[in-house]
Structure 1
């Protein structure tokens, strides 16, 4: 499912227009992004939690030349599914 299909699904399930569903989805995504940017967490009961983890600096290899390169440390988003989502999938 891509973003436009998700908007269509939201519009049908909530009985709202596609434009309103698109704005709602963008608001959700924007809220998650802004909270994670501040190193916060977003928990949606029954769905899961979004958080930020720190990835340490490490060395890697350039696949083209084989030369060793240094990869900087980075903050990366992480999603941990909730019990209800795990149960729904299984």
Structure 2
């Protein structure tokens, strides 16, 4: 498995794809990330066409166990960010 693309590499590839400079591509990437963060943290969801859907899901209060000690305790309800991958992306990876 190869190493994940860094932000610098992503900005450079985005700039090349857009036919723009790295500064504009970096600003576009930062704007998209800020928009996704704001929408998902507010309880909404964002669909990236061809990539997937990013959303927040609430988990109820539940009983958990510390594997080191075996001690059981109640974990409070919390939220977790999830992503469902689009079928088009799955098909392109497997096909």
TM-score (norm 2): 0.80
State the SS of the aligned residue for 2:20: coil
Q: Which residue of 2 aligns with 1:52?
A: 56
State the SS of the aligned residue for 1:4: helix
Alpha-carbon distance between aligned partners in 2 of 1:55 and 1:3, rounded to the nearest angstrom: 31
Structure 1 unaligned residues grouped into runs of 5+ = none
Given candidates 67, 70, 75, the residue that maps to 2:74 is: 70
State the SS of the aligned residue for 1:16: coil
TM-score (norm 1): 0.84
Given candidates 31, 54, 59, the residue that maps to 1:27 is: 31
Structure 2 unaligned residues grouped into runs of 5+ = none
Alpha-carbon distance between aligned partners in 1 of 2:6 and 2:74, rounded to the nearest angstrom: 35
Q: Tell me the matched-pair count.
A: 90
Q: What is the RMSD computed on CA atoms of the aligned residues? A: 1.6
State the SS of the aligned residue for 2:40: helix
Given candidates 66, 73, 82, the residue that maps to 2:86 is: 82
Deviating runs (4+, > 4 A) in structure 1? Answer: 62-66
Q: Which residue of 2 aligns with 1:39?
A: 43
State the SS of the aligned residue for 2:73: strand
